[in-house]
A and B are shown apart, each in its own frame.
Chain A
Amino acid sequence: MPAVNPAPGHPGLASSPASAPAPAGDSPPASSPAPASRKVVLEPAEIRRALTRIAHEILERTDGGAGTVLLGIPTRGVPLARRLAERIEQVEGRPMPYGSLDITMYRDDLRLRPARALGRTEVPAGGIDGAIVVLVDDVLYSGRTVRAALDALNDLGRPRAVQLAVLIDRGHRELPVRPDYVGKNLPTSKQEVVRVMLTEVDGEDAVLLGRAADQPPGDPPPGDQPAGGTGAGRSRG
Chain B
Amino acid sequence: MNRHLISAGDLTRDDALLILDTADELAQISDRPIKKLPTLRGRTVVNLFFEDSTRTRISFEAAAKRLSADVINFSAKGSSVAKGESLKDTALTLEAMGADAVIVRHSASGAPQRLAGWVRGTVVNAGDGSHEHPTQALLDSFTIRRHFGRSASSRAAASPADGALDGLRVTIVGDVLHSRVARSNVLLLHTLGADVTLVAPPTLVPVAVGSWPCHVSYDFDSALPKSDVVMMLRVQQERMNAAYFPSVREYSRRYGLDAARMAQLPDQAIVMHPGPMNRGVEIAAEVADSARSTIVEQVANGVSVRMAVLYLLLGGAEGES
Question: Is B26 in the interface zone, CB < 8 Å from A?
Answer: yes
Question: Is B319 in the interface zone, CB < 8 Å from A?
Answer: yes
Chain B 118-159 residues near chain A, CB threshold 8 A? 152
Chain A 98-113 residues near chain B, CB threshold 8 A? 102, 105-106, 110-113
Residues of chain B within 8 A (CB-CB) of A157 are 33
A-contacting 9-mer, from B70-78, B84-92, B310-318: B310-318
Residues A111 and B25 in contact, CB atoms below 8 Å apart: no
Question: Is A121 in the interface zone, CB < 8 Å from B?
Answer: yes
Residues B317 and A113 in contact, CB atoms below 8 Å apart: yes
Once bound together, how far apart are the Cα atoms of A114 and B37, in whole Å? 18
Residues B317 and A112 in contact, CB atoms below 8 Å apart: yes
**Residue from A106, A112, A115 having most chain B Cβ neighbours under 10 A:** A115
Category for how many chain A residues contact B:
10 to 19
Give the contacting residue for B315; candidates A102, A115, A120; CB below 8 A: A115
Residues A106 and B38 in contact, CB atoms below 8 Å apart: yes
What's the least CB distance linking A154 to chain B, in Å? 8
Give the contacting residue for A118; candidates B22, B38, B67, B316; CB below 8 A: B22
Chain B, Cβ-Cβ closest to A106: B38
| Given A115-B315, A117-B18, A120-B25, A105:B321 Cβ within 8 A | no
What's the least CB distance linking B129 to chain A, in Å? 29
Seen from chain B, the residues whose Cβ lies within 8 Å of a Cβ on chain A are 18, 21-22, 25-26, 28, 32-34, 36-39, 67, 152, 311-317, 319-321
Other A-B pairs beyond A155-B37, A156-B32, 7, CB < 8 Å: A112-B317, A114-B321, A115-B314, A115-B315, A115-B316, A121-B25, A155-B36
| 16 A–B contacts from the bound complex (CB under 8 Å) | A105-B39, A106-B39, A110-B39, A110-B315, A110-B316, A111-B316, A111-B317, A113-B316, A114-B316, A114-B320, A115-B312, A115-B314, A115-B321, A120-B152, A155-B36, A157-B33
